[in-house]
Amino acid sequence: MTPEKRSALMSRIRGKGTKPELIVAELLAQANLSWEEHAKDLRGRPDFVLRAARIVIFVDGDFWHGWRFPAWRLKLSEKWERKIEANRLRDARNFKALRRDGWTVIRIWEHQIKKSPANCLARILAVHCR
């Protein structure tokens, strides 16, 4: 695939309203939780914010956020390797800052939602109900 074609393909990937996010929103609704989406006032613009419980939820794509990145990083061009590594470092900074400010950070990976949405909701409720 040419760099131009790959760039055009990757540019069509959305940052909001993804299928995994829609599934998590449905799970939160089924649990009768109220939330905000993509809060601009918080570091990293969490996908979901449960303000009363001080919980933020990030729904992260396996590729873009580098799940198991060390195992497959050498298969990427230098450009994509730098991009994913920068995303991982930014995520770590944002999560640390949020925790320092008293937020509980929950990260749900795309593959976890596909495998077991119920387990993802259980993780959220375990934190919410403590």
pLDDT digits (tens, 9 = 90+) for 59-93: 999 988 889 888 887 788 888 889 889 999 999 99
- What fold does the segment set 16-128 form as a domain? Endonuclease; Chain A (3.40.960)
pLDDT at 70: 81
pLDDT digits (tens, 9 = 90+) for 29-69: 999 999 999 999 999 999 999 999 999 999 999 988 889 88
Q: What is the mean pLDDT of the chain?
A: 90
DSSP output for the chain: --HHHHHHHHHT--SSS-HHHHHHHHHHHHTT---EES-TTSTT--SEEEGGGTEEEEEE-TTTTTTTHHHHGGGS-HHHHHHHHHHHHHHHHHHHHHHHTTPEEEEEEHHHHHH-HHHHHHHHHHHHT-
What are the boundaries of each domain within the chain?
Answer: 16-128
How is residue 61 written in tokens? 């794509």
State mean pLDDT over 7-26. Answer: 75
